[in-house]
Amino acid sequence: MKENEIELVNTEVQRAEIALDEVEERLEETEIFAPITGIIIEKLVEVGQIIASGISNVNGGTALATIADMSRLFIIADIDETDIGSVKIGHAVTITADAFPDKKFKGVVKRIAPQGLVENSITIFKVKIEVLGKGRKILKPMMSANIEIVTDHVENTMLNSRAGIREGENEKFVMVLKNDKPEKAIVKTGIRNPIQVEIISGLNPDDEVILGDWEKVWRKQKKKIKKFPL
């Protein structure tokens, strides 16, 4: 073999070695490493799709999948600003899900957003709740859920609908129906939930509290009295 032919062959070998190095480097870039240990819950690419490497692309490359750590499950709840003051980290939570209407699950408040958000003209705070016990295996990501946070507890107390509580100057009161007439009763209230409020004093268990527009109720009551005189 002539010397120039040998040089030509050596040049081809060098080119092949360079090409091999490039292919091996690209092959290394095709290895997929997950940042966490978990389960793939969503595949974001398809076979044959051209993707960008996270190493060679300044934008971070193409996302391949969504991975979730299913050993821990969280719920992000919206809490109204009127109730957020009574919610504390560590409070127990009762969870129900539309998918399992007859089951109740346990949870605990893990984080309260330091700043509220305005949604539909209402200020709410995002609260992060960790699901405990059997709920971690039964509940799934993206399920809708309802929560009940126990912020306080009392026994043997009187409750009244929040719709019946009215506020005057430095006082709270309700309108009760006595002798077919509405009467104002000043009350002292305690803890509350979204529907009811504790009545500490000012009402008797058999008092009939007028909800809504008490003046409208009174007008109807007067008509009944006129229609059925004693």
pLDDT in tens, the chain (230 residues): 567 777 777 888 888 888 888 878 777 766 777 888 888 888 888 887 877 766 655 566 788 888 888 888 999 999 999 889 989 999 999 999 999 999 999 999 999 999 999 988 999 999 999 999 999 989 988 899 999 998 877 888 888 888 888 888 889 988 888 887 888 899 999 888 778 889 999 998 888 888 877 676 666 655 554 444 44
Span 158-227 CATH architecture: Beta Barrel (2.40)
- The pLDDT of residue 56 is 59
Architecture of domain 74-149: Beta Barrel (2.40)
Nearest to 104 by CA among 153, 140, 146: 146
- Listed in order, the ranges of the chain carrying CATH 2.40.30.170 are 74-149
- Which DSSP helix (H) or strand (E) runs through 99? none
pLDDT computed for residue 227 by the predictor: 43
- Which residues of the chain are in CATH 2.40.420.20 domains? 158-227
Cα separation, 89 vs 130, whole angstroms = 11
- Write phi, then psi, for 133 (nearest 5 degrees): 60, -140
Report the pLDDT value the prediction gives residue 83, as an integer from 0 to 100.
87
